[in-house]
A = this chain, B = another copy of it.
């Protein structure tokens, strides 16, 4: 399929084998031979502007997406307009797995900044993963990891207090930035307080107050979306010692 796309320099750039996100993404753990075959898989790239949808709930499912640059949120909407953010995704992470089950996407994926994704035709992925064991295995791991992550979010939402949730969120972001070679202590959040709140099951005012409290306590320095973590051990302590409340 990639051969059918008129390719030049742009085409070259899509090669997974050349991508520095390999170790975060689908190709992780694959041998060089396998990686070469993988390059067949990734067709086009697609640029998504800030605030635009990569896909919407109800869209027919045809492909999954690997984030090459930028970041996204996924959310589900209730008919009465309530929004639940189900996740924030960064480079190297995979979007669209929700669509496999019904062949329709079940949530919305929206770019938090101008972003770019690699389009992975799903039919082709299934085909290739029947031949390439490493790909099959890694794909299963990616899906399973999403399930485990979701269970962690349930823990957050079901059993933790507001400040614990925010602390867990910040530590998680920090860890993911680290994995991408950025500072663990200082980063820029691409989402609003309202989006954080929706993800954490809190109102934006509560998120804002928790940020202020963390700042007062010396855990973090907050300047709008710019976060500096001053005492990550303190944040970790916060998570375990609080009585629940729910």
Contacts and interface: CB of A to CB of B under 8 A. Distances in A.
A126 B130 contact: no
* Copies per complex of this chain: 2
Interface SS of chain A: helix, strand, loop or mixed? helix
A151 B106 contact: yes
Interface of A: 76, 78-80, 82-86, 97-102, 106-107, 126, 129-131, 133, 136-137, 140-148, 150-155, 157-160, 198-203, 240-241, 244, 246
A78 B78 CA distance: 30
Contacts of A133: 126, 130
A136 to B, nearest CB: 6
7 contacts: A76-B154, A80-B241, A84-B155, A102-B148, A130-B136, A146-B147, A153-B154
Nearest to A201: B158
Given A97-B143, A154-B157, 7 more contacts: A76-B154, A100-B144, A101-B141, A126-B140, A130-B136, A143-B143, A147-B150
A168 to B, nearest CB: 10
